[in-house]
Amino acid sequence: METLTLTADGVCAIPLSETELKERLDQLEAKAREMEESIRYAGSLQRSILPNERIFQNVFKDAFVLFQPKDIVSGDFYWIFQHHDDVYFAVGDCTGHGVPGALVNIAGNTILRQIIRLEGVDDPALIIQLLDNELTSLFNDNLTEGMNRDGMDVVFCKFNLRQMKGSFCGAGRPLIMVRSGELTEFKKGPSSIGYSNEGLKKFETVHFDLQEGDQFYLFSDGYTDQFGGENVKKFNRNRFRNLLASLNGMPMSKQKKELILSHSNWKGRNEQVDDVCLIGITI
């Protein structure tokens, strides 16, 4: 007589034969392979949307892009767009990582271009405000209950290399400049893009002059939040600033190699905790 067993919820279940069990396992493995292939394809699509490093190198005197997703697809993104004499560029750090973060950053990437090209807006703070409005509406308008907390932190710049003028808006992310060996950090703004319970948001444009040889760094928090070292602590912002200051004067390709090496050495055998995105440019 066949023995019946109870599942965790008290439902009576008939044990599977070895043949049936193998068939179920084969089906699960096939679905897992199909899902992995879909995610890998999504990752290749995401990479095709991200600008090639050479675009930054063609626009600026020198540049690098360091992009290391934690998973196959990334919640971080980088972006650049030339419009007349202005070059707009940004690094975004979306809520979460993996597939959910990738969906948010693809939406942000597309909306940014539309705001500048179609609406003719050129002030960084206003661009970020419009991006905030669009993303908040996109992810929340059709909800029947609760609030979707998807959003992003962004460092957004507009440089005019002919007039040697720069401007920046930080929505939760700072901008670092190294000039003649001296490091200056333009502070992040108090508000991020997307979900917020803080009420009225405030985005501010910071203006500054550019000088030949200035080096700027836009980055997500993946590099500084990496755990490692002897005591398994975060790399942290101070250590990151000191590292950037020590690289001043090096070609950007050399800086990129040193930054990758430093991150790898600090991480050691620990798991990568988040997506890493870092852009460096020289005026």
Question: What value does the mean pLDDT of the chain take?
Answer: 84
Percent of the chain with pLDDT over 90: 51
Query: Edge-to-edge strand order for the sheet containing 276-282?
Result: 62-68, 276-282, 215-219, 175-179, 182-186
pLDDT, position 169 = 97
pLDDT, position 247 = 95
Among residues 279, 226, 264, 277, which one has the least CA distance to residue 102? 277
Residue 219 Cα distances to 31, 79, 153, 201, angstroms: 36, 12, 10, 22
pLDDT, position 103 = 67
Lowest average pLDDT, out of 50-59, 126-135, 147-156, 198-207, goes to: 147-156
**Which tens digits make up the pLDDT trace of 17-39?**
788 778 888 778 777 777 666 66
**Which tens digits make up the pLDDT trace of 253-277?**
999 999 999 999 999 999 999 999 9
Q: Could you tell me the domains of the chain?
A: 52-140+147-282 (3.60.40.10)
**Which tens digits make up the pLDDT trace of 38-77?**
666 556 666 767 899 999 999 999 999 999 988 777 788 8
pLDDT exceeds 90 at position 175:
yes
Q: Which two tokens stand for residue 228?
A: 């490692």
The answer to whether the beta carbons of residues 278 and 262 sit under 8 Å apart is no
CA angle 163, 244, 185 (to 5 degrees): 55
pLDDT, position 66 = 97
Among residues 101, 70, 42, 40, which one has the least CA distance to residue 275? 70
**Residue scoring higher pLDDT (134 or 251):** 251
pLDDT, position 147 = 43
pLDDT, position 232 = 93
**Which tens digits make up the pLDDT trace of 195-239?**
666 667 889 999 999 999 999 999 999 999 999 998 999 999 999
CA distance 271 to 262: 15
**Residue scoring higher pLDDT (163 or 146):** 163
pLDDT exceeds 70 at position 133:
yes
pLDDT, position 60 = 97
Sign of CA dihedral 14, 15, 21, 27: positive
pLDDT exceeds 80 at position 154:
yes
pLDDT exceeds 70 at position 101:
no
Q: 145 pLDDT band (50/70/90 cuts)?
A: very low
Mean local confidence (pLDDT), 107-134: 85
Biggest distance spanned by C-alpha atoms of the chain: 89
pLDDT, position 196 = 63
Instruction: State the SS3 of the chain.
Output: CCCCEECCCCCEECCCCHHHHHHHHHHHHHHHHHHHHHHHHHHHHHHHHCCCHHHHHHHCCEEEEEEECCCCCCCEEEEEEEECCEEEEEEEEECCCHHHHHHHHHHHHHHHHHHHHHHCCCCHHHHHHHHHHHHHHHHHCCCCCCCCCCEEEEEEEEEECCCCEEEEEEEECCEEEEECCEEEEECCCCCCEECCCCCCCCCCCEEEECCCCCEEEEECCCCCCCEECCCCEECCHHHHHHHHHHCCCCCHHHHHHHHHHHHHHHHCCCCCCCCEEEEEEEC
